[in-house]
Amino acid sequence: MTERTIGKALRPLALGLAAVALMGATQPPVVKTEGGAVRGAVADEGQALVFRGIPFAAPPLGERRWTPPAPVVPWSGVKDATTPAPACLQNDYGWNRADFRFAQEDCLTLDIRTPGLSGKRPVIVWIHGGSNRAGSPNDIVTSTITRHNVVLVGIRYRLGIFGFLSHRGLTAEGKGASGNYGLMDQVAALEWVKRNIARFGGDPSNVTIVGESAGSQDVSLMLATPQAGGLFAKAILQSGTPGFGLPFRPLAEAERIGDQADALLETGGDIGKLRAASVPALLAADLKLHDDALESDDYMWLRTTIDGAVLPKSPHDLLAEAPPRPVIVGSNRFELDLPGGRPHRDAFVAKAFGANEAEARAFYRLDAPDPAPHPRLGTRDQQIATDVTFRCPANRMAQILARKGAPVWQYEFDLAPDGGMTRHALDVSYVFSEQTFASGLSLQAYWVQFARTGDPNGPGLPAWPAYRPEKPAHVAFDGAGVTPLGALRPQPCSLMERL
């Protein structure tokens, strides 16, 4: 398939762009939102309008720390929305240094890129990754995906100890619930989008939420939580499901992590004193929190807490009860290494496969010397890590959703521009840039078609068969193009039942 063919496939998506060009968009656009007026900027030679840092909730400061997001505090005049907004507070893990340096607690804002202020376009809401402890939408609003007549929104949400801490004092305040404030922020952002996006040329009845890694996990939890009911129509999960294959964390266990925070900060269980703690002290404490169920505390805020509010019970049960919505779910051929590294491999396998541990050890031949790495799957340890944390939970997620009648499409992405193995998050650039593979094929074309219609298949695109409970199927996106295949990695995944 040529780039011309892909262009033909996307041509219906671009209708209306000529009208945007005719705007003579030289004057900065001003839009009245529910909080007040915002002034954006003209981008992409007049083909797009960009708004950054629009508040969707009140600043979560002081007494609002660790509370559900409050309504936006209205402002007077016109707020400048042309410069990058700060990320939410986070520690420095190296890869997120830019966000660490440009972060603050007052961070509940979103960015919008739109082809124009009139019309009713499909809306894509991006929920960023970063282990729920770091990251931001960064420059997602520079994506040219909006050339295909969609509106793009990137949201910020509280992270780490600020966004996901449960605590006995907070549980008392919350009448039996605490934690997952970052998820509450995501719900609040989606509520804002529903109420305001029409003013930016978007269709509030046609919203697709998309996330990668922790953002993908959070998208899956938006599918589960009753609080997000009616706020979006479709979802795309890129490398992340509820808990990443970890057992869900009961509130009682989550509160014991809050006890650790009290001990580290010497706040004696007093939530008022904890709220008064300094940002540096809280960030330092976050690095020392521990969960005995984990082989690496890097996954501290990825283990899903059943908080009693956003998630009143197991996400597994909530997903079974939620209304069926079209979903794309997938993972990369290679994602990440073993949590905790080789010394933790045996414990990791034992916890992941439970009663089937012996069969899993036999499949991976763990009592034999290390084989040569597979050219696409990686080392044996990397295969275990990707199976347990990403691939098998994605299979399980597809099965749960398809069994309830939801239209589901599954994929595995296997491409690296340097010819090596793929890796975690590499697929993101193929969605939000013009990057193509296999004679002009584009993930972006499928994602946009799905956002428009709820089905990734469309004119000029190679067929992508739906996943059926009785006939699991996925497509491989790789150097050969788009290849329909059957069940993904069935042998080890049949031994693992967790999401």
- What is the SS3 string spanning the chain? CCHHHHHHHHHHHHCCHHHHHCCCCCCCCEEECCCCEEECEEEHHHCEEEEEEEECCCCCCHHHCCCCCCCCCCCCCEEECCCCCCECCCCCCCCCHHHHHCECCCCCEEEEEECCCCCCEEEEEEECCCCCCCCCCCCHHHCHHHHHCCEEEEECCCCHHHHHCCCHHHHHHCCCCCCCHHHHHHHHHHHHHHHHHHHHCEEEEEEEEEEECHHHHHHHHHHHCHHHCCCCCEEEEECCCHHHHCCCEEHHHHHHHHHHHHHHHCCCCCHHHHHHCCHHHHHHHHCCCCCCCCCCHHHCCCCCEECCCCCCCCHHHHHHHCCCCCEEEEEECCCCCCCCCHHHHHHHHHHHHHHHHHHHHHHHCCCCCCCCCECCCECHHHHHHHHHHHHHHHHHHHHHHHHCCCCEEEEEEECCCCCCCCCCCHHHHHHHCCCCECCCECHHHHHHHHHHHCCCCCCCCCCCCCCECCECCEEEEECCEEEEECCCCHHHHCCCCCC
Q: For residues 208 and 64, what is the distance between their CA atoms, to the nearest angstrom?
A: 29
Please say whether the beta carbons of 213 and 470 come within 8 A: no
Catalytic residue among 335, 412, 442, 474: 335
Q: For residues 269 and 271, what is the distance between their CA atoms, to the nearest angstrom?
A: 6
- 213 catalytic, yes or no? yes
Q: For residues 137 and 214, what is the distance between their CA atoms, to the nearest angstrom?
A: 12
Residue type, 15: L
- 344 catalytic, yes or no? no
Cα dihedral across residues 489, 420, 385, 429: positive or negative: negative
Catalytic residue among 128, 167, 424, 474: 424
- 316 catalytic, yes or no? no
Please say whether the beta carbons of 184 and 178 come within 8 A: no
Q: For residues 436 and 424, what is the distance between their CA atoms, to the nearest angstrom?
A: 18
Catalytic residue among 213, 216, 220, 239: 213
Both tokens of 485, joined, read: 């295949």
Both tokens of 488, joined, read: 């993904």
Residue type, 209: I
Catalytic residue numbers? 213, 335, 424
